[in-house]
Amino acid sequence: MTKYALLFVSLLIANALCGQRYIDSLRNELAFAKEDSDKVNSLVRMADYFSQTNADSTACYSNKAIILAKRIRYPRGILMARISVFFSFLTRADYPKALKIAQDNLILAEALPYNRIFDMAYIHINLAAVKYAMGDTIQNRLELQETDRLYKVSGNNDGDLWSAIHNQAMNYQRKKNKDSALFLEHQAMELVKKAPFRKTYSSLASAYLAKMYLDYGMLNAARHYYQQGLEQAKFYGAAYLEARINMNLMQFCIKSNQKDSAIYFADNALAICKKYHFGDYASTVADSLYRIFEEKGKTDSALRYMKIMMAAKDSIFSQAKMQAFQRLISENDQRQREAEVERERLQSKIKLYTSLSGIAIFLVISAILYRNNRQRKKAYAIIRNQKQETEIQKAKVEEAYQELKSAQRQLIQSEKMASLGEMTAGIAHEIQNPLNFVNNFSELNGELIEEMERALKIGNQAEAVALAGNIRQNMEKINQHGKRAQGIVTGMLQHSRTTAGEKQQPTDINALAEEYLRLSLHAMKAKDSGFECKIGQDMDPSIGKINVIPQDLGRVFLNIFNNAFYAVGDKKKKLDNGFEPEVFLRTKKKNDQIEICIRDNGSGVSQKNIEKIFQPFFTTKPTGQGTGLGLSLAYDIITKEHNGKISVQSGEGEYAEFLIVLSTSGNPYI
């Protein structure tokens, strides 16, 4: 064994320990995942880790991820779990099953509510890999072309885009443009590091770059990146890629005329392929070893490796598998043809119905014009007679309109006064604590002054001095809590003053939301002394200050918090002790926008009412307990005054979640 091979042995031993640390980190991530969506993502990462080494573990973790993703309505989590299963079949050279899963995954990706085009592009990469493995280079090229097209349409710069960049680099290499090819291949390797679910493929990106350097005859650089790829494959437990890079190193050593090292790396690759049933690489490696030993004149060894090669090819390209593969392709082609026929039939129907509709409309218009022409003279006389009556009705309508506007102003004022009442109750509850301190310490000082007077009368000056010190401390506490109450009142007066003509000003959104959450909770407790509710918060400190009208935005928060506490309180009364009320506040910054999410686990809103929830005068509360204007005003404040967006999602009987999106740049929300 050469020194070069010995160096790699030591590196593999070191990286085995790193690989154990990586799987341990994945297990810890899964154990401590708090949100259900995070747990789905962790399960997918576990399934992806085992996709190259343990099909049973991949199936176990992916099934768990799919079940949980279905329960929380997370379709992209289902797709990511199924992609891990796809790779499990692909690495084991079970191409018919891999093709079937990839085809089903494409249908699932087409139905995604977001990231649809980008995920479709990634599935086409999977399809291209299967077609390439089965020797269908034409279909492989077509799938890659579709991948590039979809990536450009999606505009997504996610880490999985690395494969598309790699394809561009290969095109430049075929055109003999060395500098552009190497530049793009380096860029692809950097991009793969950003992919949260495909970090294991950093070793593949390194191998691609090493192969390109090898093709250009730059052996030192090729050796460096092959070594780097092998280390990464060991670290992430990517046995399939470890076998591939050992095969690449075998080819590297053959090209460098290092036959002994080539045999060493080939044996490593075959051992991995035998352990995990990687028939495709086993076939290639065995073929190379057959040629090496045949060249050396060692016919026994050459014959042994030729048998291994033939057995591997038989396992991959068996008659049953090829028939299943062709059947899947035929079924998919048939589905596409049927879909195309159905689209053409539908288009023909649309054209027919459009023509018939046009003729019908033309006939109807002709009849109307003919009838109108005959009645024009009669109508002219009737119009003259009705003109005076119309003027009278117009006056009545104007009067009714003014009355309606007056009633609307009164209702809006009533809603604002209701909000002011809620805020006042919260203020009263909040300043009660410092006022209690002031009262208690004042009474205590009165008692201490009486004791000090008695001590002075009897000439006990030491005790009088001690009592005076206690009085001074109490006075400091009275002053401290008095200033605290004054600060609360001053702050609330600032937020409750009139907003006519107010301009936007830099405001700490986190502080404003927390302040009104506290006020609303105190107001609810002031109404119902037995009310208890769990409060959850996840505030993004990077938001900072943005330009808003704080008084109006505060009213929006207060209305939503009041509704949330009302909903959980009402549900608590109905379910008695079997329910724990909870209201959750979350803020998050995304690029030049911020999201404010307010969620409660109350009674929720039915689907038939959720479309009307921002309409004026619509309320789900009992008669006399709501005007139906709170959320309507909130909608106007967010969309018209702040150019933002407000939406609601709800599960009836389970939860209600309001999402407010504001721009940090001052540009209108798009």
Residue 75 falls inside a structural domain? no
454 and 521 fall within a common domain? no
Kindly state the helix (H) or strand (E) to which residue 48 belongs, with its residue range: helix 36-50
Percent of the chain that is helix, strand, coil (3-state, to 5): 75, 5, 20
549 and 610 fall within a common domain? yes
Residue 260 falls inside a structural domain? no
Pairing mode of beta strands 582-590, 534-538: parallel
DSSP, collapsed to helix, strand or coil, labels residue 324 as: helix
Q: What is the model's pTM?
A: 0.39
Yes or no: say if 546 and 506 are a contact pair by the CB < 8 Å rule: yes
Out of 436, 465, 480, a domain closes at: 480
Kindly state the helix (H) or strand (E) to which residue 524 belongs, with its residue range: helix 509-527
Residue 378 falls inside a structural domain? yes
Kindly state the helix (H) or strand (E) to which residue 473 belongs, with its residue range: helix 461-496
526 and 619 fall within a common domain? yes
Domain count, the chain: 3
Q: What does the pLDDT look like over 80-120, one tens digit per residue?
A: 889 888 888 887 778 788 888 888 888 998 888 888 888 88
Residue 422 has pLDDT above 50, yes or no: yes
Of the candidates 205, 247, 236, which has an alpha carbon nearest to the alpha carbon of residue 53? 236
CATH code at position 174: 1.25.40.10
**What span, in angstroms and rounded, lies between the C-alpha atoms of 552 and 637?**
7
Task: Establish how many alpha carbons lie within 13 A of residue 155's alpha carbon, considering only the half-sphere containing its beta carbon.
Answer: 0
Specify the pLDDT at position 400.
67
Residue 286 falls inside a structural domain? no
Token pair, residue 557, equals 């928060």
**What span, in angstroms and rounded, lies between the C-alpha atoms of 377 and 164?**
73
Q: Report residue 60's pLDDT band, with 50, 70 and 90 as the boundaries.
A: very high
Residue 159 has pLDDT above 50, yes or no: no
Where on the phi/psi map is residue 70: left (φ > 0), alpha (ψ -120 to 50), or beta? Answer: alpha
Residue 293 falls inside a structural domain? no
Specify the pLDDT at position 418.
57
Cβ neighbours of residue 175 closer than 8 Å, sequence gap 6 or more: none
Residue 91 falls inside a structural domain? no
394 and 536 fall within a common domain? no
**What span, in angstroms and rounded, lies between the C-alpha atoms of 206 and 655?**
48
Q: Which domain holds residue 420?
A: 356-480
Residue 312 has pLDDT above 70, yes or no: no
Residue 417 falls inside a structural domain? yes
423 and 517 fall within a common domain? no
Report which DSSP code applies to 200. G
414 and 453 fall within a common domain? yes
Specify the pLDDT at position 128.
84
**What span, in angstroms and rounded, lies between the C-alpha atoms of 637 and 627?**
17
DSSP per-residue letters across 148-169: HHHHHHHT---GGGHHHHHHHH
Residue 599 has pLDDT above 90, yes or no: yes
Out of 195, 210, 237, a domain closes at: 237
Q: CA-CA distances (angstroms) from residue 510 to 256, 517, 554, 587?
A: 63, 11, 11, 7
383 and 425 fall within a common domain? yes
643 and 550 fall within a common domain? yes
**What span, in angstroms and rounded, lies between the C-alpha atoms of 12 and 242?**
10
CATH code at position 635: 3.30.565.10
Dihedral angle sign, alpha carbons of residues 399, 400, 403, 408: negative
Q: What does the pLDDT look like over 316-360, one tens digit per residue?
A: 554 444 445 455 555 555 565 665 666 677 777 777 777 777 788
**What span, in angstroms and rounded, lies between the C-alpha atoms of 76 and 241?**
26
Pairing mode of beta strands 593-600, 582-590: antiparallel
Residue 439 falls inside a structural domain? yes
Residue 585 has pLDDT above 90, yes or no: yes
Kindly state the helix (H) or strand (E) to which residue 657 belongs, with its residue range: strand 655-663
Specify the pLDDT at position 13.
43
More reliable by pLDDT, 269 or 107 = 107
462 and 512 fall within a common domain? no
Q: What does the pLDDT look like over 484-532, one tens digit per residue?
A: 676 666 555 554 544 445 678 899 999 999 988 988 888 888 778 788 8
Mean pLDDT of the chain: 77
636 and 592 fall within a common domain? yes
**What span, in angstroms and rounded, lies between the C-alpha atoms of 90 and 83?**
10
458 and 518 fall within a common domain? no
Out of 212, 237, 262, a domain closes at: 237
544 and 645 fall within a common domain? yes
Q: What percent of the chain has pLDDT over 90?
A: 10
